[in-house]
Amino acid sequence: ELSKRLETVGRFVPEAARLADIGSDHAYLPVALMLKGKIDFAVAGEVVKGPFESAKRQVMKNGLSERIEVRLANGLDAIEKHDQISAITIAGMGGSLIRDILEAGRQNQRLSGEERLILQPNIGEKTLRTWLKENNYQIIAEEIIEENKKIYEIIVAEKKEQPIDYSEKELMFGPFLLEDKNATFSAKWQRELKQREVILEQLKNASEQNRYETIQQEVEWIKEVL
């Protein structure tokens, strides 16, 4: 049984996809999607030996070694051209790490631009959306969910000829999440607002004028959207 978080990530993987799951840990996601018959082939990439071994065991145990290749590699280096990957999932890491993985993959041409990206950053969503915008990806769907008192965002993106000029506000809150403003979204931004108010209080007498103004601007936006 997948966690709600990984189940939501999996829902955005297209039918019959050739999937690369980067930072796969136990390979739970590709194994579950393969067992459901949703995907045709998968690469499970891991950079750390321990999780790499767990992923191999999980794939073996389920008799899927023919269809899920577990590779010890840094980021998108796990992907080879002949894999013909059509979807990439990167989940459970910080947004700036996901951004760095995508940027390195772009630079060394592991990203063809044909793949759908399904990303689940734990924090740093704005950093990630900013990279997507700068690289002509269009956000095609977003979800915000709560599980075990933690709130997660899932961002789905595809590269387009005609990119969208997302505003700073859309990059911060997420264009679809901002449209929807569901209860989980409100809960997240109530929390974020409280945190920022504490920081502002602490910064009041410090000489970090720029930081103060940035956070103050964010606080104003949060109040606007709530």
Name which of 47 and 199 has its Cβ closer to ligand SAM: 47
Is residue 153 at the binding interface for ligand SAM, with CB under 6 A as the rule? no
d(CA 4, CA 168): 29
Long-range CB contacts (within 8 A, 24+) of 10-13: 10/38, 10/89, 12/116, 12/118, 12/141, 12/154, 12/156, 13/38, 13/39, 13/87, 13/89, 13/116, 13/118
Segment lying near ligand SAM (by CB under 6 A), choices 46-54, 141-149, 173-181, 199-207: 46-54
Name which of 20 and 177 has its Cβ closer to ligand SAM: 20
Binding residue (CB under 6 A) for ligand SAM from 8, 20, 25, 172: 25
Name which of 75 and 175 has its Cβ closer to ligand SAM: 75
Binding residue (CB under 6 A) for ligand SAM from 2, 47, 193, 219: 47
Alpha carbons within 13 angstroms on the beta-carbon side of residue 60 total 6
Residue 55: strand pairing partners: none
Considering only residues 65 through 84, tell me which ones interact with ligand SAM, judged by CB under 6 A.
74-75
Cβ–Cβ < 8 Å for 25, 66: no
State the minimum distance, in angstroms, from the CB of residue 87 to ligand SAM. Answer: 14
Per-residue x/- track, 86-125, ligand SAM (CB under 6 A): -----xxx-------x------------------------
Cβ–Cβ < 8 Å for 101, 90: yes
d(CA 20, CA 84): 10
Binding residue (CB under 6 A) for ligand SAM from 35, 48, 60, 226: 48
Question: Where on the chain is the footprint of ligand SAM (CB under 6 A)?
Answer: 6, 22-25, 45-48, 51, 74-75, 91-93, 101
